[in-house]
Structure 1
Amino acid sequence: MRDVSEKQAADDKVAVVIVAAGRGARAGQANGPKQYQQIGGGAVIARTLDAFLTHPKIGAVVVAIHAEDDALFRRAAGANADRVVAVTGGTSRQESVRLGLLALRSHAPGRVLIHDAARPFVDAELIDRTIAAIEERQGALPALPVADTLKRETAEGMIGETVSRAGLHAAQTPQGFPFWPILAAHEKAHHLGKADFTDDAAIAEWAHIPVKIVPGSPDNVKLTWARDIAMADQRLSSAPRFPDIRTGNGYDVHAFEPGDHVTLCGVAIPHDRKLSGHSDADVGLHALTDALLATCGAGDIGTHFPPSDPQWKGAASRIFVEHAVKLVRARGGRIANADLTLICEAPRVGPHREAMTETLSAMLRISRDRISIKATTNEKLGFVGREEGIAAIATASVVFPGDVPE
């Protein structure tokens, strides 16, 4: 088992433990454990992971998997497998949760959510409600009031009595807790040999951690039986969908200073001045880097290459673009096209457009016909018109795996 690094567990984020070590025998083993079965063209666990990894309040995500499922998990999770920490789970759900919590202990956030991998329809609003109810000494449990009339059965299989459903709720996940108290409760139960808790709220109750009920969601069903898998697949397959295509924009500007050439889109162009900047000041590639980072919510160029860092002094800006490309591809993205506009009075861009296109094609690993490089003047207006510097605008489109509901 390995602990989550400090970078993964920022203090202002909420950690998540996803329990995926079960065998799911009730759902049938013909197609493997239920968390890896297909619904709507993807694995159950892939949809569950996506719900948390795309949520802005979520930080580190730990997935407890069966000892034999590493390859199965990585295949099902795709690019998201590298965005989570996978640990080997235990022989029971309770033990898997404990091991998942232990993986967070070195750099734990204040709050943690615990969720079943077989609940792929959890939504952002439910996650928000659960997080909002977690306090320093209080957990949160999403639940739905019991709607059916309840009957208690006798030993002979007859109705013994009708049970009042007043105040009764059906528990869901994610269940949320302050991290250290729920970890301590799990550790105490483990050391005392108490292994009969059916969920984490039950352990919290045993450990005298108050748990607040928040409204659950009727869509947040747990897939238990083979028919549940079939119904989930039908639900997703029949829903109108469109591809997950994202567009990012970038803008940059650099002033002139004394020199003998400018670097634009990776091409050195003779000129009576150069652009001022900590790196090679390639305004086109800087704008393109920001556009690519925007498609996967990865911040901006300054986040990854701060100008205060001396190692980037004079650096070739292709390093920045190639880093952004690596991040996009790590998330499963395919760059569809890149469009750049260079705004300057001089130098002339036209004679160098082919060389720029060829350079960008190599950096982005896409064909030349997917790259557009344009140049325009500012009609002698503003700082560009006064030939004090050059500006650039970039747009990038990236196709990510999976579909987005219409």
Structure 2
Amino acid sequence: MPPKSIAVIIVAAGRGERASVGGEPDPKQYRPVAGAPVLSRTVAAFLDVPEIARIVPVIHPDHSERYAGLGLSDKRLMAPVIGGDSRQASVLEGLKALAPHKPDLVLIQDAARPFASPALISDVLTVLQTHDGALPALPLTDTIKRSLDGALVATTEDRHQLFAAQTPQGFRFGQIFSAHMRAATVRRQFTDDAEIAEWAGLRVGMVMGSTDNIKITHPEDFARAERIVLGDSRMETRIGTGYDVHQFEAGDAVWLGGVRIPHTAKLKGHSDADVALHALTDAILGAIGEGDIGIHFPPSDMQWRGTASVVFLKHAGLLVANAGGRIVNLDVTIVCEAPRIAEHVPAMRAVIAEALGIVTSRIAIKATTSEKLGFIGREEGMVAMASASIELPRND
């Protein structure tokens, strides 16, 4: 039986920029996976293990409000600790916070690994009965090449001796705390806590890792994470369409796809009259059976006057997440004679991707003219059409 005093450090102090989908980086640990933020899922995985006595999150100094917004509450969950300028320094801050409580064992977990199962955690704790440290690892299946310059192969490694390390990594608290304190005095950055333990002469055992115990690093990892949560077999694809039209009035710019484009007029509307985002919002709402934009944001309600339409789009994305769904792809067509749209498409895709937490490769934006026909040809207004493909859990 493992000792009763087991603590967990969840390292969530990174900026998560590699998982950004455009625009201002949204830290990956706070982005949703099937309706729940990554960090919330990671914390919940350890709260599901009754033997764990304390959990201390280590967060970035700029993320205090984001963490508070998760609404996490459990008597075993300690107040978050501010991390350092590296993962190694952040773990040390977590160890310092736990030191007064003198736990017997400590598990150190990356916040971006939300799928550590109770069985995997138990395996790590079991190995700690006979070793100073333990970590889950997976054997490598690809042939591994070593290169000195990234261009020419120098040698082929023996993959049978190579393993991919995962977390949680477990240790006897006093030993890893001492090792981390010593490591902080040397001019070297260690890649993980097991490396620090090895450097300190501790015996670290391995258990079989899990292919589902992924580390969310890049934007495409979120799609895989959602498949792990929801299971492909439980999903069905829904299609929604949207259409919107706005006339021009006196002004100097139009808002399209969340981007301000200088023009000789502006679009008339209750909000910012972003015809592209209105059509796209309606397409998403249609795919999940949630009516249209006017139901959620009535033009008769003055609180929405002048509102940026990205607010409406984010709301539709949240409804998708709350329904346990995921956006597969979005397609928008803008019809106008002017202004020119093509050069602004990358910025539009980035705004939409950021608002919905998806990669830009899932978004298409096209523009065409009406060949000088009709009200569009007379440059009296413009039209946008959109479609949305969304996967939702089956409810039949």
TM over 0.5, shorter chain: yes
Q: Who is 2:95 aligned against?
A: 101
2:6 counterpart residue number = 14
Pair 1:126 & 2:155 matched: no
CA deviation after TM superposition for structure 1 residue 215, in Å:
1.1
Distance 1:156 1:32, change over 3 A: closer
Distance 1:73 1:195, change over 3 A: farther
For 1:194, the equivalent position in structure 2 comes to 187
- Alignment-mate amino acid for residue 189 of structure 2: D
Deviation digits for residues 208-233 of structure 1 (CA, Å, limit 9, x no counterpart): 01101111111101111011123213
Which one of the candidate residues 92, 98, 109 is aligned to 2:86?
92
| 1:16-74 CA-partner distances (Å, limit 9, x unpaired) | 00000001121116461111111010100100000001211111001100011111012
- Helix, strand or coil: the match of 2:142? coil
Q: Once the 2 structures are TM-superposed, how far is the Cα of residue 153 of structure 1 from its aligned partner?
A: 2.1
CA change 1:152–1:135 in 2 (3 A) is same
State the number of aligned residues: 232
Contact in 2 for aligned 1:136/1:178 (Cα 8 Å): no
Q: Are positions 1:182 and 2:176 aligned together?
A: yes
1:228-377 counterparts in 2 under 5 A? Answer: 228-238=221-231
SS at match of 1:203: helix
1:152 matched residue in structure 2: 146
Per the alignment, residue 210 of structure 1 pairs with 203
Q: For residue 218 of structure 2, what is the aligned residue in structure 1?
A: 225
Match of 1:41 among 30, 35, 41: 35
Alpha-carbon spacing, 1:18–1:195, altered in 2? closer, same or farther (3 Å): farther
Among 89, 104, 112, the alignment partner of 1:110 is 104
The counterpart of 1:60, out of the listed 30, 54, 57, is: 54
In 2, the alpha carbon distance for the partners of 1:64 and 1:105 equals: 14
SS of the residue 1:185 aligns to: helix
CA distance in 1 between partners of 2:227 and 2:78 (Å): 28
- Secondary structure class of the residue paired with 1:113: strand
Gaps (5+ residues) in structure 1? 1-9, 242-402
TM-score, length-scaled by structure 2: 0.55
Letter of the 1:217 partner, please give it: S
Q: Amino acid of the residue matched to residue 94 of structure 2?
A: G
Matching residue's letter, 1:113: L
Aligned-residue offset at 1:206: 0.5
Give a deviation string over 1:141-174, Cα, whole Å, max 9, x none: 1111111110112426022222111221110000
Q: CA RMSD in A?
A: 2.3
Q: Taking structure 1 as the reference length, what is the TM-score of the superposition?
A: 0.54
1:23 aligns with 2:36: no
Greater CA radius of gyration, 1 or 2?
1
In structure 2, C-alpha distance between the alignment counterparts of 1:234 and 1:11, rounded to whole Å: 35
Which residue, out of 132, 143, 155, partners 2:137? 143
CA deviations on 1:297-354 (whole Å, 9 max, x unpaired) are: xxxxxxxxxxxxxxxxxxxxxxxxxxxxxxxxxxxxxxxxxxxxxxxxxxxxxxxxxx
Counterpart-to-counterpart distance in 1, 2:136 and 2:71: 26
Mapped contact 1:27–1:226 kept (Cα < 8 A):
yes
Is the CA contact (8 Å cut-off) linking 2:17 and 2:25 kept in structure 1?
A: no
Q: Where do 5+ consecutive residues of structure 2 fail to align?
A: 235-392
Name the structure 1 match of 2:355.
none
User: In structure 2, what is the Cα distance between the partners aligned to 1:204 and 1:194?
Assistant: 16
The answer for the alignment partner of 1:276 in structure 2 is none
Distance 1:80 1:238, change over 3 A: farther
Question: Structure 2 vs 1, CA of residues 155 and 137 (structure 1 numbering), >3 Å: closer, same or farther?
Answer: closer
